[in-house]
């Protein structure tokens, strides 16, 4: 997590950091763990909650994973990957 925090601290606009930047479907962070700046939680939390819905289809969960990163970018912040 220290590596994630370092990347976040190096750029004031970075709001989410994860292990892998992917471009499948659209640019997004991919991985089991990400560091989310508390100031951006309101952008990411609805997507995270949607992936935990009972009976959510795998494809829908992936769409929300991608949308988490896109919502950060749409708000004019940056993301970083290892």
pTM: 0.87
Which residues form the domain of 69?
Answer: 2-81
Q: Would the pLDDT of 79 be above 80? A: yes
Give pLDDT, residue 30. 87
Give pLDDT, residue 64. 92
Instruction: Tell me the mean pLDDT in the region 63-82.
Output: 94
Per the structure, the count of domains in the chain is: 1
Q: Which two tokens stand for residue 58?
A: 């795998």
Q: Are 47 and 28 in contact (CB under 8 A)?
A: no
Tens digit of each residue's pLDDT (9 = 90 or more) over 2-58 = 888 999 999 999 999 999 999 889 999 988 889 999 999 999 999 999 998 999 999
Give pLDDT, residue 36. 94
């Amino acid at each position: 997590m220290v590596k994630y925090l370092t990347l976040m601290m190096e750029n004031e606009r970075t709001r989410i950091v994860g292990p892998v930047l992917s471009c499948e479907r659209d640019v997004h962070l991919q991985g089991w763990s990400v560091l989310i700046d508390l100031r951006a939680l309101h952008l990411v939390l609805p997507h995270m909650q949607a992936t935990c819905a009972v009976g959510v289809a795998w494809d829908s969960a992936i769409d929300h994973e991608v949308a988490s990163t896109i919502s950060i970018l749409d708000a004019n912040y940056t993301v970083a990957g290892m």
